[in-house]
Amino acid sequence: MTELNIKIMIPNKGIRLTMGLVLLIVVTACGDAPMPKPRGYFRITMPEKKYQPMPDGYPYRFEYPVYANIEKDKDANAEPYWINVAFPAMKAKVHISYRNIQKNFNTLEEDSHMLAYKHTVKADAINERYFINPDKKVYGVYYEIKGDAASRIQFVVTDSLRHHLRGSLYFNVTPNKDSLAPVVDFVSRDVLHMMETFEWND
């Protein structure tokens, strides 16, 4: 029986080099799996802070931003002196409802507290800040609602005798605490300024 000697011959150095590179790529490609990049959000340019007095004709007044508009609330259930402070560039509105106190102060306060805390389901936390200005008879609570709640800021202002006003900030977008965080922070400072400059028109 004749013995066969089989040899695999690689014709030149170029092919050997190519095969070596292929082998190197295969070995190094078996490392860690690639990690997905975190989601990014568009950078939002905020306007310069500047305020103006609200128009006459209301039982209350405050300063609001020049980049916002005062709109009459056109909802079918809206009552006199209900308005929206609209921030068109940010797709946000502060809904303001006003009521005259007529032996219903406790009910109005309980309703305001309940409306703020109904967001507990989506909220990570709710922080309260109290405002007291005895010279102007302004007493208020500022609710900061953390998380993906529909309303991130709410507040109540009253003189405990005649006037009761409630405000709530809403965005016309799907709630997302990460993407909305810079805008919420920006508008929250405007809401605080509104509360700090708040007065009654008696």
The domain segmentation of the chain, as residue ranges, is 51-200
Q: Of the CATH numbers 3.30.40, 3.40.1000, 1.20.1260, 3.30.230, which one belongs to the domain with range 51-200?
A: 3.40.1000
Question: Whole-angstrom Cα distance, residue 65 to residue 54?
Answer: 9
- Report pLDDT for 178: 66
**Per-residue pLDDT tens for 66-84?**
999 999 999 999 999 999 9
User: In this structure, which amino acid lies at residue 103?
Assistant: K
Mean pLDDT of 149-156: 86
From the list 57, 50, 46, 87, the residue with the least C-alpha distance to 70 is 87
Convert the pLDDT of each residue in 40-75 to its tens digit.
444 567 899 999 999 999 999 999 999 999 999 999
Query: Is 50 exceeded by the pLDDT of residue 162?
Result: yes
Number of CB atoms found within 10 A of residue 173's CB: 12
- The one-letter amino acid code at 8 reads I
Residues 6+ away with beta carbon under 8 Å from 100: 59, 162, 163, 164
Cβ atoms of 170 and 184 within 8 Å: the answer is no
The beta strands (E) that lie in 110-176 are given as 123-133, 138-147, 151-158, 163-171
Q: Tokens for 139, please give them.
A: 């007493």
**CB burial string 34-44: b at 16+ within 10 A, e below:** eeeeeeeeeee
Q: What's the half-sphere exposure (Cβ side, CA atoms, 13 Å) at 23?
A: 6
In this structure, what token pair is assigned to residue 39? 């989601």
Please tell me the pTM assigned to this model.
Answer: 0.73
Q: Residue 141's beta-bridge partner residues? A: 130, 156
